[in-house]
Amino acid sequence: MLIAMADVPRWYAERKPKDTIAIVHGTDTLTWEQLECGANRRARAFAAKGVKPGDFVAIGLPNGNGFFETSFAVWKCGATPTSLSWRLPRGEAAAVLDILKPSLVVGGEADWNAPVSLPVNFVPDGFSGEPIAAPIARYWKAMTSGGSTGRPKVILDHQPAVTDTAAEPPLGIPREASLLNPGPLYHNAPFILSHFALFAGGRLTGMVKFDAEETLRLIEAQRVQWVNFVPTMMHRIWSLPESVRNAHDLSSLKVVFHMAAPMPPWLKEKWIAWLGPEKIYELYGGTERQGRCVISGVEWLQHRGSVGKIDETCKLRILDADGRDVAPVRAARYSSCPMTAPAVPITISAPSRSAARMAGSRSAILADSMPTVIFIWAIASPIWCCAAAPTSIQPRSKPPSRPIPTCAPVWWSACPTRSSANVCTRSSNSTQRPTHRPSPTAWRTSWPTG
């Protein structure tokens, strides 16, 4: 059943036993009833500050229960949340806020000088916690990045703020799972995965700050089933004394994902040997969600260095520097595009539009012609992609001309098949706001299906 994301806390509060815990950060717990009441109070406080349906609200809060009361409150206003680091320097914050033009900033530093703001320790005293009948936000999130342009940008996800309570969660997250989030919520993956766990009625255990040994303790204490790391976290855990690593019962873990950075093969081998190849997964993709690759530990042992097959929602084309189709046995540009449309449904506004700088590109090539970020296996069928960690990067406008026997260095650009998953990127040299902004109330009964 499709429901508004804003209604998720009430949905589970009415269906789960009273006082069922939804979120835990340290010793602070939040039940579904408390999450619903707190989000309603904050939503009314935000509306009193001028937040309207269709607006953007910047959230500059550290990891904690209050973050989730705030994100659900934003959706209850019919608005779109943007999560920022609460310690973002004034100059970077100003650039992002200039792009976003939010109607309210919650948290952040005092020197952000936001026209309308609420402090980090804001408490919505005097506002009712009764349910709110709110319109559905046209865009469910607008995350920030600077990775492909070097300048701040906002990536607007065109999926409306609805969720299907009957659908299976993505990436093997079990329904009503115990999920651990060790990452900062201003990053895209922790933001998405933490909320997906809640959308599926799960119990979210969050970490205010990552600590390797505390991570293992929480997995054991909370019987965590699903967790996502970046390779640096996995390295810190593996660097613990063996007696510390083995002192904790990790048998509850079903899936360990890693993403967001190249994984050293030796470290991946250690984790596969430790927990088993069937539990280790890797995702390669971007915040723009143009496409993705996923690989299990079992598959990785057969294709070492790979990041998996292109997702079934995309099709694959191998193009040379002039845009002509070629076989994946020579240097080429690798582009995946939707199964149902000939054009890439993504709007990009970036300081540089070269292939090496565009959103979704993974095209940095080492000076010695070594592919640094993504390859295509020339002999694999179906085509697999593999990643390698760079040492010193020299971006080039074109790949090397000579063939490479085993793998072809490529440029990767992908896009989703469904119009509801499109994204619009607005960078710091763009003042254009999204042009497609239907009335938020219309999404109660209608949303993209094609």
Q: Among all chains, which residue has been given the structure tokens 């085509």? A: 383
Tell me: the pLDDT tens digits for 171-223?
A: 999 999 999 999 999 999 999 999 999 999 999 999 999 999 999 999 999 99
Give pLDDT, residue 86. 92
Q: Which residue has the higher pLDDT, 406 or 250?
A: 250
Q: At what angle do helices 265-275 and 231-238 cross, to 10 degrees?
A: 60
Token pair in block for residue 356: 């090496």
Distance CA 26, CA 4 (A): 29
Q: 51-65, 156-170, 378-392: which range is least confident on average?
A: 378-392
Calculate what percentage of the chain has a pLDDT beyond 90. 60
The ranges assigned to domains in the chain are 2-304+418-432
Q: Do the Cβ atoms of 5 and 140 come closer than 8 Å?
A: yes
Give pLDDT, residue 149. 67
Q: Do the Cβ atoms of 363 and 395 come closer than 8 Å?
A: yes
Give pLDDT, residue 305. 85
The contacts found for 209-212 with CB under 8 angstroms, 24 or more apart, are 209/63, 210/182, 210/183, 210/236, 212/236, 212/237, 212/239, 212/240
Q: Report the pLDDT averaged over residues 349-378.
A: 28
Q: Please indicate, yes or no, whether the overall pTM of this predicted structure exceeds 0.85.
A: no
Q: Report the pLDDT averaged over residues 151-156.
A: 87
Distance CA 424, CA 357 (A): 16
Give the contacts of 287 (CB within 8 A, at least 6 positions apart): 143, 145, 155, 188, 423
449, pLDDT greater than 50 = no
Q: Report the pLDDT averaged over residues 437-441.
A: 33
Distance CA 429, CA 426 (A): 8
Domain 2-304+418-432 classification at class level: alpha beta
Give the contacts of 41 (CB within 8 A, at least 6 positions apart): 73, 124, 127, 128, 129
74, pLDDT greater than 90 = yes
Q: Report the pLDDT averaged over residues 247-259.
A: 97
